[in-house]
Each structure stands twice: as structure tokens, then as C-alpha cells.
Structure 1
Amino acid sequence: MLESLKKDVLEIAKRAQRDGLCKHKSGNFSAKVDETGYIVVTPTGLDREAMSVRDMIVMNLDAEVIENESGLRPTSEVLMHIEIYKARPEVKAVAHTHSAYATAMAVLAKPIPAIVYEVANLGLTQGRIPVAPYGRPGTPALAENVIPSIREADCVLMEKHGAVAVDDRDIYEAFLKAAYIEELAELYHHALTANGGQEPASFAQDELQKWAYPSEITFPNSK
């Protein structure tokens, strides 16, 4: 069931580990099928490099396991994924990572401002990556606490925990946003350090919303 989507989720989960966004058994990933409302999610307690397609788990949005071919349980944080899909029905993928700089900002409960223009593509609505209040991993509180922030932005820090990114296209795009969170967190850290702890200048939300593909570029079939 959903073999192609399982392969996509598995590949991104492994890439996240290779790229340093997750280490050991931390982090989790999922993708949703709109027609059925089913989600494919990574299992708990298994190193990603040891995962195979048959280890991917299919669930519905009532937290019922539909298929777990290898008998594994879904990630204990799947409730957060489910609540995100319910709160934002357009979302098709969720990437939850524990990358170092992003997690450091999450430990400090420090939102990351829009210090570079590339954040215009991160689905921010207030010119920042917000911080969701702490909730114990694997609990409904974690799922509930992240929702206000995920309604604000596609990229969110989770206090004392890590980061989560969502996208309305696919798991690859959600992964890219998670990677951008880490890159932005590292840049922010370096800027603060170089500036003696003083906040660097950042872009206002209305400036971020002005970006558009250059109209001066033309194509043969556009005339």
C-alpha cells in the first residue's frame, strides 16, 4: 500500500540523517494522501540507515494503524503530525528534525528573525520562525502546543526539542524547509556572536511578501 510514497518518505528520512539534520534515532517524517487521508510515517526506535520500505507505516488521521508490514510502531510523535494535518488540511508532508543550531535556538526559546531574504520561501507570516511552547514528546500536549505556531508559519522551533517544517507539495519540499531552518539558525548564531550579542537587522514581513519572479525574463512561448 502506497509503496511509492513510502519510498519517498524513506529516502528523505535517510537523507536527513546523512545531511546532519537528525542523528541516531531522533526526528521523524510523514506524508499524506489527500484522497484517503492516509499518512505514511516513519517508525519509532529504528536507526534510519537500517530502515527499509516495508518499515514505513500507514495510518489514518484517527491515529489508527492501517498497515505496518514489519510490525513496527509509528513514531511516538505521530500525534503531532496528525494534528498538523488536521489544523492545516493543505499540508502534504511534515519533517521533524533535531539539527544542532535550530535545537540550540529552541532550547533558548528564541524565535529566528528574517535576517536573509531567502526566508521569503519558508511560509512565514510574521517575519520570523516562531517557537512553539514546550510539550513532552509523545504526548497530546506536544501536538496541541505546536498548532498555533504552525498556523503562523511553515517552519517552527519546538521549545527544548527541535524543529518542524511542513509543505503543501511533498516530503522533499518539507525537508528543504527543515534544512533552511538549520541554515538560518546557524547564520543567526554567527551574526549574534560577531555582533557582540546584539540583534542583527532583519526584514519586515511586508518586504518578504513583495518577492516575485522577474517579469523581465521572457520565454519563446510567452509572446
Structure 2
Amino acid sequence: MDTTLRPIGVIVSPLTDFSQCPKQGDEGAPEAWVEIAAPYVPGLDTLAPGLSLTLLTWLHRADRSVLSVHPRGDMRRPKRGVFNTRSPARPNPVGLHEVRLLELAPGADGSMRLRVAPLEALDGTPVIDIKTSYRQRQPEPVQGGDVGVGSDTKRMTDGSVNGGAFVHVVSGSAPSPWGEGIPDGHADELRRICLRGWQRGLYSGFNGNASLRVGTACLLTCSGAAKGDLGPGDLALVDIATGAVLAGGNPSSEGAMHLAIYRARPDAKAVVHTHPPRLLALGALVSPDDMLRLPIYESELLRGQLGFAPAHAPGTQALADAVAAAAATRDAVWMERHGLCCTGPSAARALALAEELEHLAGVQLAVLSAHAKVRD
């Protein structure tokens, strides 16, 4: 039995000391490069920017004699066995790092360099393996029994072909109550999520928008649709690659932002853009650097998932590009003077993240108010 580890590459990072390293990547870790040695470059075939990767590293500076630790190095917490923690100190110090692939670039002597983020590993850490998530490798599920990708049934109303495949309505299926070419399973899901967001105050009136990935297209709320009462005519099916409307009405004016996110994030199955009142109020009081900074654990975890996009006019390509750039490494993006955009493996997960951030904003507003009263 051969148990020899063969490093396939090395981390090149601005982190050179343990004191600089966040506990987890989503707690503010920087971008880094992964240099893959030439003999292993063929194993990178079909990797593309936007994919979620799990890097396995050999934490070469870890203490291999440790069997119990205080979780997260917090001496106030009781010790527990290392196999019930993610501590780097352990008998076989294999590190797991969830990152997003941002760029591939040729290196010296036939090597390949992968720019990834966020990565909390030290400079010089050996890389022993790379894996993609199981979910990313699965075919897109068909919901409602009426939408798929193929060439054996009729095309959408405009006959659009997307990279050799197209979304279609299966011959002989019942007409969708949402309109011709609108997949009713996805439409029902989007209606439920928008209603839930409206009930929880994340949407009001006609503001905000939401979408779901459907094969090579996305199902998107239309311009002027009331999110608390979606019905026929309120949804559009849009080709992600070209922006062509395949079915339904006039897409939201923020459609370009949804498309840009889906292009940058192949793993994203849903995008939810809301105008949360507490976050908007907080954004009017403090700078982006100070948003959601609180001495509580939830603040550390949630802020690590939040990216920031500078102020751009709503509906512009500049805003779409800025949000997509931030969303490449974060599941939530705060758009200055505008609102919040969350992505996820489902619309429910994306909306739940928006709820958590809105709740935390309420906590910070309460703290600010209490401080103001003390000063008075």
C-alpha cells in the first residue's frame, strides 16, 4: 500500500505569518495564486473561471503532536478532540479550503497558475489535490416536467439556439399557467420566494427582482412586477449567454446584473436582489468598511460572505459588472446607495442569507442608537 503524498503545486500568498491568517477563508482571506507543477497541468483540463474548488493542502508548519485544542484558539472554550475541529494542528495536517477560481494563467516551465479567493493558507503551503463540488458536476434538474435541454422537441417561440442546445417545451405537455414557454415548476418556486421576501419586508411594492437558473437560461421577474403578487405575465425567460428573451414579458431593468452573476458564477442557481430597509438605513449612517462590524460571532461569519460594489446608477452595465466582480468571491454583495444582491444553490438559500444580513443590520442599528442615547 503506497501512502506517499505527492505535492502537485504550491500556494503563493501575501500571508506569510500565522498571525495574518483568518481562521476560515470567508473571514476576510485574500486572493492567492496556486502554482501547479507541469506534470500535473493536464489534470486541470476543463477547469474554468467561476468554478468553486476545494483545495487540499499539506499544512507543513502545523504541530503534528496535537490531539486536542481549544476551538478557534479561544481559551475560554473547553478543549475538544482535533477530529471534531478544523484546527490545522493534527496528526496528518491536511487543509481543506473552499475557493472560487478567478483566473488561469501559464506559468514558467510548463506550470499553470490559478488565481483563487478567498484563501487563508500561508505562502509556500504545498497543494496535494484539487476537487470540484459534486453539485456543480450534475446535470440541471428539470422542474415541473415541462422544461429541458435537447433537440427532439419544439423550440422556444423565437427558436433561439444556445451553444447547440436550447430550452424547450416538451411536446404534448399541458400549457403553462404562467404563459407559453415559462416553466411552471420554476415559476411557482420564484413566486413563493418573492412572496416570502415581501412578507418579511425585504421587498416592497415593485422594487427588487429575483431569478432562477434554468439550464442555459434564467427565469427572471419582469419590470414593474409586484413581488408580493406575481402572476402570469410577470416572468421572462432569458438566455444567459446572449441576453435574448426566450419567452415571457419584459425582463427587469436589473436583468444585466443577474446575467453577469450567472456568467461569473457557474455554481449559482438563484439570484435575489432586495432593498432591505435596515441595511439601507445602516448604509446611510456608516461607511461600507463599518457595516455589520459587531463584537459577536455572527458578525464575523456573515461579513465574510459580504462583498461590496460602489455606487452606480441602477440598471446600468457598470453596476452589473461591479456586482459580478464582487460576487465572484462572495455570496452577498452590498450595492452602495442601492440594495443587496445574494446568490445561492437555491432561491430559498439566497433569500435566507439576505434575511440574516438584514437581521444583523438591525442589531447594529440598535447598538448605534444605544450609544447615541448614552452620549446624550
> Given the two structures, how large is their TM-score scaled by the length of structure 1?
0.76
Identity of aligned residues (%): 29
For the 8 Å contact 1:41–1:56, the answer to whether it is kept is yes
Q: CA deviation at 1:119?
A: 5.7
Deviation at 1:156, TM superposition (A): 1.7
Give the secondary-structure state (helix, strand or coil) at the position aligned to 1:45.
coil
Shift of 1:100: 0.6
Match of 1:201 in 2: none
In the alignment, which of 293, 296, 306 is matched to residue 129 of structure 1?
306
Q: Is the Cα contact below 8 Å between 1:134 and 1:160 reproduced in 2?
A: yes
Q: Is 1:159 aligned to residue 336 of structure 2?
A: yes
SS state at 2:252 partner: coil
1:65 to 222, 241, 245: 245
**From 353, 366, 372, the counterpart of 1:177:** 353
CA contact (8 A) 1:113 1:128 kept: no
In structure 2, distance between residues paired with 1:185 and 1:23: 18
Q: Rate the CA distance shift 1:119–1:54 in 2: closer, same or farther, 3 A.
A: farther
Alignment of 1:22-37 (within 5 A): 22-33=203-214, 36-37=215-216
Contact 1:44 / 1:76 at 8 angstroms: preserved in 2? yes
Q: CA deviation at 1:120?
A: 7.0
Question: What secondary structure does 2:328 align onto?
Answer: helix
How far does residue 57 in structure 1 lie from its aligned partner after superposition?
1.3
Deviations 1:152-197 (A, max 9, x none): 3211211000111111x21111111111111111112222333459
Match of residue 99 from structure 1: 276
Residue from 246, 263, 269 that aligns with 1:86: 263
Query: Measured at CA, do residues 149 and 112 of structure 1 come closer, stay the same or move farther in structure 2, by a change above 3 Å?
Result: farther
Aligned Cα root-mean-square deviation (Å): 2.2
Paired letter, 1:25: F
Q: Quick one: which of 207, 211, 219 aligns to 1:40?
A: 219
Whether the aligned pair in 2 keeps the contact of 1:112 and 1:129 (CA below 8 Å) is: no
The CA distance in 2 between the partners of 1:7 and 1:119, in whole Å, is: 33
Q: Distance between the aligned counterparts of 1:32 and 1:120, measured in 2?
A: 30
Higher helix share: 1
Contact kept, 8 Å, 2:195 with 2:229, in 1: the verdict is: no
Deviation at 1:39, TM superposition (A): 0.6
Shift in Å at residue 128 of structure 1?
6.2
Q: Greater relative contact order: 1 or 2 (C-alpha under 8 angstroms, separation 6 or more)?
A: 1
Do the aligned residues in 1 keep the contact of 2:278 with 2:362 (CA within 8 Å)?
yes
Q: Is 2:194 the partner of 1:17?
A: no
- 1:141 pairs, out of 302, 318, 324, with 318
Gaps of 5+ in 1: 198-223
> d(CA) in 1 for partners of 2:296 and 2:251?
36
Paired residues of 2:195 and 2:228 also in contact (CA < 8 A): yes
Kept in 2: contact 1:134–1:145 (CA 8 A): no
Partner Cα separation in structure 2 for residue 165 and residue 106 of structure 1: 17
Displacement, 1:54? Answer: 4.9
Uncovered stretches (5+) of structure 2, i.e. residues with no partner: 1-181
Contact 2:222/2:236 (<8 A) preserved:
yes
Count of aligned residue pairs for this structure pair: 188
